[in-house]
Structure 1
């Protein structure tokens, strides 16, 4: 790498020179080497939006979910910054919308907790599993309810998730919203017909 921490591969990616990218990879350049800024060649190609280069990197073993020094993968960074174009590029080259993060959260749960409705819809359209759960037994619906994201809850119900869907831990959105003291979300769920009588595994309802 040069004094700015840029490798020849990353420079070729920034220049959009696919032939040079392929030549460097075949010569042994690591597709997953991180620059001093924590970016891999694939992350750079994603932000630039060069799908040809992205595909070349993937075909030579680039890890599409390698996290940078901030713990963000190209997809989770695109979600966090609401970068719709990068998300489009990633899905177009086959990046999995159901990738599970280190904390057990899916991309849908991650986007839902942040309240990014448009990004959330893009993940659904890309095939994200609406019912996947994290390591705490939360689904996208219950996690969104717990942190007070009524619009995300409405989106999920609109896409076919039952407002009373129970996770493997017995959690419902209404119970999660009540435990989180999320008044606006409680009202939204009640307006959609959420049951007050559903119990979790501890026999608690939204009222108890």
Structure 2
């Protein structure tokens, strides 16, 4: 008896199950992450459909698209059914998404909440594997004048030059500052050193009539605001 061969190609699915057709008929927002990735790769392997393969890839990163975006082409190629072309397509699509978020953040010109500050800074430092310290300079309407990286260091910490921060604030005519740094470890709790440098900058800035409005600690998944927590 000849064994029946089952095709896992998307073109053989029912229309309702085809991600491309589903997107065209119902809109992109109804598609799951796995279905969107399935559109990118087009086909699965001998034992999995494109969607099933996509689900397995997502499961390997706990269904976190930010983590998926960090996988290299070679890492993606470790999955059966993902060759170089498919791996490049996934990597490129996720990079486009990251850049789009960065451009959306640039639209924010006025900071009205810690969330605004987070959205502005996350594309710059939220996914880094090393620690960086950034300063956002604001005018008297809380509009962003400038943002800059103050220091870059290892996971253990960064060096913060208070004089450099205040020198740039005076040159820019800034009256408000938002401090921010990331914790690659994922720990959201501020350290004693984080609190110390915040107090040091706050006191030095006050002498020049410049106010430190907040200090954000960013991780890959969330953030902590010193102002929101009442520890500024």
TM-score, normalization by structure 1? 0.33
Name whichever structure is richer in strand by fraction.
2
TM-score, normalization by structure 2? 0.30
